[in-house]
Amino acid sequence: MVPIYRTMARRMQAVIARMHIRAWQCHRSERGSATAEYAIAALAAAAFAGVLIAVVTSPEIRKLLTAIITKALKTK
């Protein structure tokens, strides 16, 4: 007959081993997350640049920017 503390010790070792494996799997599952974050940031920057180009090339904004630059160059 095995003493109860040995049985409990074995069970605790098994639980600790499972926790270690789960912790390693969680750490492993985060591989590539930084790359995904950079990809999302690059996509957002490209979308913002597209909107900015669309706004700046519109006739109204082009006329406004031309007027501002002309006024700035004519200042003494």
pLDDT per residue of the chain (76 residues) written in tens, 0 to 9: 456 656 777 777 777 777 766 555 555 566 666 788 888 999 999 999 998 888 888 888 888 888 998 989 987 6
Per-residue model confidence (pLDDT) at position 27: 55
- 3-class secondary structure per residue, 8-76: HHHHHHHHHHHHHHHHHHHHHHCCCHHHHHHHHHHHHHHHHHHHHHHHHCCHHHHHHHHHHHHHHHHCC
Reading the block at residue 8, the tokens are: 């409990």
> Inter-axis angle of helices 33-56 and 59-74, to 10 degrees?
80
- pTM of the predicted structure, to 2 decimals: 0.45
